Copies of this chain bind each other. A is one copy, B any other.
Amino acid sequence: MTTITDVARAAGVSPATVSRVFNGGRVTPERAARVRRAAAELGFEPNRVAQSLRKQRGSVIGLLIPDIENPFFTSLARGVEDAAQQTGLSVVLCNTDEDIDKERRYLGIALAEQMAGVIVAAASRTQTDLSPLAARGMPAVAVDRRPRGALVDAVLVDNQYGGEAATEHLLRARYRRIACVTGPEGASTSEERLAGYRSALRDALADGTLTPEDGDDPLTAYVRYADFKVGGGRAAMADLLAMERPPDAVFVANNLMAVGALEVLREAGVTPPEFGVLSFGGVPWAGLVRPSLTTVELPSYELGFTAAKLLQERIAGSEKALQTVVLRTGLSVRDSTGGPHDDAEGQGRLRAPSPLG
């Protein structure tokens, strides 16, 4: 391996000069040229480990995500990677598996490896602890989920707005018993999406679009908590279908649970859009799912990209006040929320039935 000393010897200068050539120090052009030539000839590439040790800072940023198999996070990871590449940083992808211990371990590694900074989609809002990073001055940015009380920049999605828009859409499509399958209690994303759902229902109750059914609290009767995974979505959906007065639509607060819900519906012979289904976050290969699925679109790539940009500012030493960037969701209306079958009421449909029903 050729070191800076080898290059120095070959160019007839000191190592210090070589270092200056590559780091923008003042060196006479003639000498600099000689150094560059020697470096090129020897195929010199600075040893990043030595650099990190000396500078007390590496050129790698850690990205901690809870589920590498969820396409939402892989897309986010791509955003981070693209942003990082622009400034010569590499990205280490760490899959925490929603496991608080694994997450802690990775944070420790980030410190021990002297990473330049970390981007964290926290495994737990209450237990994830970013304070050791802060204590050692390592920049961090929270993404998608904001851990409680952490003094870090954050890039989030407007979950409440998304939940609201989704639920309003279902109401407009004339569903009237709209269920909500949300994530774990305590996760910020679960709670916010649920809050949006409730807010939309409240509005509908207030303006008379929706009328309370006897005995049930319409804001809670159709709510189920699950685990953001396929299995949880299945269980919650099955539970909802078993109700005495089952819902006629469901707002599922994440893509994987939507997959589970769709499976259960299919097994039960209940098909959208008669039964409305709306997923928060796109399902992979959605093109194969029939009827096509109405979804709240998440800016996953931008989430990652923005977080990485923010992190880079901090790494560069920015002392700006902490900021939280909130990105908006969109709504992609497709066939799964075309509206329930007409009952005897004889009202016109808002939407033509899809060719395959």
User: Which listed residue (B50, B60, B285) contacts A53, Cβ 8 A?
Assistant: B50
User: Which listed residue (B71, B78, B113, B259) contacts A48, Cβ 8 A?
Assistant: B113
Question: B95 touching A92 by the CB < 8 A rule?
Answer: no
User: Which listed residue (B49, B266, B285, B290) contacts A52, Cβ 8 A?
Assistant: B49
Question: A285 touching B287 by the CB < 8 A rule?
Answer: no
Bound form: Cα–Cα A48–B62 in Å: 15
User: Which listed residue (B93, B136, B289) contacts A93, Cβ 8 A?
Assistant: B93
Please choose the segment from A104-112, A147-155, A157-165, A166-174 that sits at the chain B interface, where 4 or more of its residues have CB less than 8 A away: A104-112
Bound form: Cα–Cα A325–B92 in Å: 28
User: Which listed residue (B77, B90, B114, B287) contacts A49, Cβ 8 A?
Assistant: B114
For A58, the chain B residues whose CB sits under 8 A away are 49
Q: Could you tell me how many residues of chain A have their Cβ less than 8 Å away from some Cβ of chain B?
A: 44
Interface check A352, CB cutoff 8 A:
no
Given contacts A49-B52, A68-B74, A263-B287, contact A95 B81 (CB under 8 A): yes
How far in angstroms is the closest Cβ of chain B from A279? Answer: 12
| Interface residue ranges of A83-98 to B (CB < 8 Å) | 90, 92-95
Interface check A8, CB cutoff 8 A:
no
How far in angstroms is the closest Cβ of chain B from A96? Answer: 11
Bound form: Cα–Cα A293–B106 in Å: 38
Given contacts A93-B92, A112-B47, A284-B285, contact A69 B71 (CB under 8 A): yes
How far in angstroms is the closest Cβ of chain B from A58? Answer: 7
* Cβ-closest 5 pairs across A and B: A93-B93, A48-B112, A92-B92, A49-B52, A49-B53
Question: Residues of A with Cβ closer than 8 Å to B?
Answer: 1, 45-50, 52-53, 58, 60, 68-69, 71, 74-75, 77-78, 81, 90, 92-95, 106, 108-109, 111-114, 136, 230, 259, 262-263, 266, 283-285, 287-290
Q: In the complex, given contacts A48-B114, A71-B284, what are 16 additional A-B residue pairs having Cβ atoms less than 8 angstroms apart? A: A45-B112, A47-B114, A48-B112, A49-B52, A69-B71, A81-B95, A90-B113, A92-B92, A92-B93, A263-B287, A266-B290, A283-B288, A284-B284, A284-B285, A289-B289, A290-B290
